[in-house]
Structure 1
Amino acid sequence: MAVTVETLEKLERRITLTLAATVINSEVESRLKKLARTVKADGFRPGKVPMSFVAQRYGAQVQYEVVNDKLGEAFSAAANEAKLRVAGMPSIAQKDEAAEGELAFDATFEVYPEVKIADLADTEIERVAAEVTEEAIDKTVEILRKQRRSFAQRGAADVAADGDRVTIDFEGKIDGEPFAGGKADGFQFLLGEGQMLEAFEKAVRGMKAGESKTFPLAFPEDYHGKDVAGKEADFLVTVKKIEAQHLPDVNESFAKALGIKEGTVEALRADIKKNLEREVKFRVLAKNKGAAMDALVGKAELDVPKSLIAGEAERMVANAREDLKKRGIKDADKAPIPAELFNDQAEKRVRLGLVVAELVRSQNLQAKPEQLQAHIEEISQSYEKPAEVVRWYLSDRERMAEVEAVVIENNVTDFILGKAKITDKQLPFDELMATA
């Protein structure tokens, strides 16, 4: 029997589904009989509960389940017969009128759109590149030194200077009144490393242990604490202890402590360079991938199914709640997070996914087995035991699916960059690393 598909607007469609009452009743009876074998009721032995009792207690629930199952089967068959690519779940409502002996339902749903991608030849894309310089290696060495620094208490006559770790008590007031977060005892911070506001550090700089000072501090307009942002406070600070830092020398002992087998400074710098080059490669790839994807979406014409946007927004809400849970937020799974907050971002994700899928299909950009293997091996090189990492990926379908998605994105990026007008730009190392 031919399926009649009604077009409502853009991607929205409607079809009518009919179910024979005899089929529904027969399946309900069959399920109730099966249920009667295991159902328990006071006064009856297992398997001896009367069918009338089972039907009275479970009949409505079983009928609901049967109708839903049969509707799912009917909808799937109708969509296949009409060769429809259904996007999201259908909304099904029972009709008031139906032929005798039948139940009729309207199924309203969306279909996947036709995606048209214009010629990419006139698309302009800025492709970035970056190099690992000796200066970048030097900065990384300094970071590693600071991670392994030690501290020794200064003398009573010494004053706090940049690089020192100071322990202080402080209390701040606005218009003579204390405010939340404005008081602490035994608080430690490293002077001169931007851990505190500059005005606070300036006040502590030059103080001695046991000394107290009162000073004004103006909070910036964009300060993260909204209650005090843009306001001026008076702080009383007392320095309890000053400790001078000691950075380890960059020598063979330092290199060995960092796990460098050769134990030489040259080998340490070579290892740092290798790791930085790997990080630079991934960051450059991410920036160029973003530019390529933006250009691709800009060349695409399509309507985006509302149901897919809603589904993506709900997934983003679930991810947000999971993130809150990981941060230790109480009742994070019940947090009132409106899905509407994510609609714009969800729409962008869905649009990009549809356009990428079309380009992959039309240009045969699927991931090849050798590409998957190469990508996993590249990831594994940043771990101590690469072979175990490779096995870890290959043993799990979900992890392999993630790898496949990345490889496909890389294929799409390479395809776009190969078609577009490219302008190359060399990014300074620090600028690249500062980007998210």
Structure 2
Amino acid sequence: MKVQVEELSPIEKKLSIEVDNARVVEELNRAYAALSGQVKMPGFRQGKVPRRILEQKYREQVEDDVIQRVVQRAYLDAVREHKVEAVASPQVTNSGLKPGAPFNFEARVEVKPKVEAKDFEGLSLTKVDTAVPDDAVNQQIEQMRQNMGRIEPVTDRDTAAQGDQVTIDFEAKVDGNAFPGSKADGIGVRVQDGDLIQGNIPQLAGVKVGESKDVEYTFAQDYQAEEVRGKTAVFHITVKELKKPVVPELNDDFAKETGVAQTVDELRAKVRSDLEKAKKNQATVDERDGLIKALLEKNPFDVPRAMVERAIDSMMEGAFRQMQRQGIDPRQLGLDFNRLRDEMREKATLEVKGTLLFEAIAQQQNIQASDEDVEKRIEDLAIEANQPVAQVKKYFKGPDERLGLSLRLREEKTIEFLKGRAKYS
């Protein structure tokens, strides 16, 4: 087999491959022998159909199958022999089989770019503040109180007030005419600022139970119901019942109800700790992104589309898993997956470039993750997940899983190396 490798660009190569005729003949013989044992033809016993008869009827099909097998094996052999780091399936062209002649084909394939990082010391980064102010702790606790509140009927007044949850009947018209969905009874809304279609009607403040009020609302130009797009409707709204949220007092009993603390002081400490952890995690992400952007200013390069598409696949899978953990079925959301992929493409491209740059720097600086580093991280993961170490070790027993963890640790070490030499402002 003869192979010529041509670099079309830093991310694409062309392999011109010539396969010996003897190898092609061997594959043809094998294919016709197998076909002869399968085909039933009048006048011939099974397995005894002459090859010339088979060629007359099945030549095109057999040669297509043989070409596919020869291409696959020869291509893989060529890639291994010439150390071509292919990242996608090749685009193959050939001129078919010719009797007594070698078989020639060309394969164009996207390849992993060779990156040699430079000027990676003294990168300019913005220092991220991870301190958590008291106001943030108070706001989080207040949100917890609101979430743990209950809804009770209003008994000391009959007039709607800001913050109430109100049961209403309504009938709406546009230009004096009804439209689909323009009438409903027993609907719950909130007396607060916001959009009427989202159930927020601040105009109901001051309206008594049993009384009605007309509220105008202009539909958006892209509203789902075409007949009312951009038009103004008059909603005749009757207040039927008043309810209000009642939030628990901030005391030790409330702290116990949260399930994470026994006292208010413990609750504040827990909330602060969680917020600090979240800020540090976000700071880690922001610093990593900052490093990638700073490195790319000094080391611009292109990446194969296939690597970007795989990164998008990974991002979407992660987003869907997060939705499922929250009890949301992504299939029920009517998502435009093509639009989502387009929105993720810029981020995915940066992620691919960043990974390649960190990998290059690690190789240039001989940064490695030792077996001890891997074992320590497994122990940390077990503590974080509140799982036995043996169980977490079992997950990372496979070579692929362990290699993935080792590469992640190497990247983390590389990032720390860069941060230690960066200039912060």
CA–CA separation in structure 1 for the residues paired with 2:8 and 2:187: 65
Counterpart selection for 1:364 from 340, 360, 366: 366
Paired residues of 1:131 and 1:277 also in contact (CA < 8 A): yes
Residue type of the alignment partner of 1:52: V
**Alpha-carbon distance, 1:74 to partner:** 2.0
1:271 partner amino acid: K
TM superposition shift of 1:103:
1.5
Once the two structures are overlaid, the 10-residue window that deviates more, 190-199 or 207-216, is 190-199
Determine whether 1:50 maps to 2:47: yes
Structure 1 139/13 Cα, relative in aligned 2: closer, same or farther at 3 Å?
A: closer
1:275 match: 274
1:161 matched to 2:161: yes
- Tell me the distance in 1 between the aligned counterparts of 2:180 and 2:2: 70
Deviates more, 1:138-147 or 1:174-183: 174-183
Question: 1:248 & 1:98 partners in 2: Cα distance?
Answer: 85
**Residue 326 of structure 2 corresponds to residue 327 of structure 1:** no
Structure 1 residues 397 and 209: alpha-carbon distance in aligned structure 2, compared to 1, 3 A threshold: farther
Assess, with a 3 A threshold, how the Cα gap between structure 1 residues 10 and 53 changes in structure 2: closer, same or farther: same
**3-state SS in 2 of match to 1:163:** coil
Partner SS, residue 209 of structure 2 = coil
Q: Given residue 366 of structure 2, which amino acid in structure 1 is its aligned partner?
A: N
1:286 and 2:288 correspond: no
Alignment partners' CA distance in 2, 1:225 and 1:321: 26
Q: Distance in 2 between matches of 1:319 and 1:58?
A: 48
Structure 2 CA distance for partners of 1:295 and 1:23, relative to 1, 3 Å: same
Q: CA deviation at 1:373?
A: 4.8
Aligned-partner SS, 1:234: strand
313-322 or 92-101, larger mean C-alpha shift = 313-322
The answer for the alignment partner of 1:350 in structure 2 is 352
Shift of 1:243: 0.9
Shift of 1:72: 2.7
In the alignment, the residues of structure 1 paired with residue 384 and residue 424 of structure 2 have an alpha-carbon distance, to the nearest angstrom, of: 31
Cα contact 1:40–1:49 (8 A) shared by 2: yes
Residue 269 of structure 1 aligns with an amino acid whose one-letter code is R
Instruction: Give the TM-score normalised by the residue count of structure 2.
Output: 0.76
Name structure 1 gaps, 5 residues minimum. 424-436
**CA 1:369–1:204 in 2, change beyond 3 Å: closer, same or farther?**
farther
Once the two structures are superposed, the pairs formed by residues 193-204 of structure 1 within 5 Å of their partners are 201-204=201-204
The separation in 2 between residues aligned to 1:35 and 1:98, in whole angstroms, is: 21
Q: CA shift at 1:203, angstroms?
A: 0.3
Are residues 378 and 197 of structure 1, via their aligned partners in 2, closer, same or farther at CA, if it must alter by over 3 Å? farther
Paired with 2:241 and 2:300, the residues of 1 have a C-alpha distance of: 65
Structure having the larger proportion of residues in strand: 1
Q: Does 1:137 align with 2:134?
A: no
Q: Is the 8 A contact 1:163 1:193 kept in 2?
A: no
Per the TM alignment, residue 159 of structure 1 is displaced from its structure 2 partner at its CA by 2.0
1:301 is paired with a residue of what secondary structure? coil
Cα distance change, pair 311–263 in 1 and its aligned pair in 2 (3 A): closer
Unmatched tracts of structure 2, length 5 or more = none
| Contact residue 159 and residue 207 of structure 2 kept, 8 A | yes
Mean Cα deviation higher: 336-345 or 144-153: 336-345
**Residue 15 of structure 1: aligned partner:** 15
Q: Does 1:112 align with 2:109?
A: no
Specify the alignment match of 1:242 in structure 2.
242
Which one has more relative contact order, counting CA pairs under 8 Å at least 6 apart?
1
Aligned residues: 416
Q: What is the root-mean-square deviation in Å for CA atoms of aligned residues?
A: 4.6
The aligned runs of 1:32-431 (5 Å cut-off) are: 49-50=46-47, 52=49, 64-95=64-95, 100-155=100-155, 157-176=157-176, 184-192=184-192, 201-218=201-218, 232-260=232-260, 263-309=262-308, 326-329=329-332, 344=346, 346-375=348-377, 378=380, 383=385, 390=392, 393-394=395-396, 403-404=405-406, 406-423=408-425
Q: Is the 8 A contact 1:156 1:208 kept in 2?
A: no
- Is the Cα contact below 8 Å between 1:28 and 1:59 reproduced in 2? no
Percent of matched pairs sharing the same residue: 26
Once the two structures are overlaid, the 10-residue window that deviates more, 320-329 or 354-363, is: 320-329
Any idea what the Cα deviations from partners look like across 1:377-408, whole Å, max 9, x if unmatched? 55555656576984575467776666556534
Cα-to-partner distance string for 1:229-274 (whole Å, 9 max, x where unaligned): 87644332222221122212233332222224x6222222222222
When residues 341 and 150 of structure 1 are mapped into structure 2, their CA distance, relative to the original with a 3 A threshold, is closer
Amino acid at match of 1:328: R
| Residue identity opposite 2:215 in structure 1 | F
Partner secondary structure for residue 113 of structure 1: coil
Structure 1 residues 244 and 310: alpha-carbon distance in aligned structure 2, compared to 1, 3 A threshold: closer
> In terms of mean alpha carbon deviation, does 121-130 or 301-310 score higher?
301-310
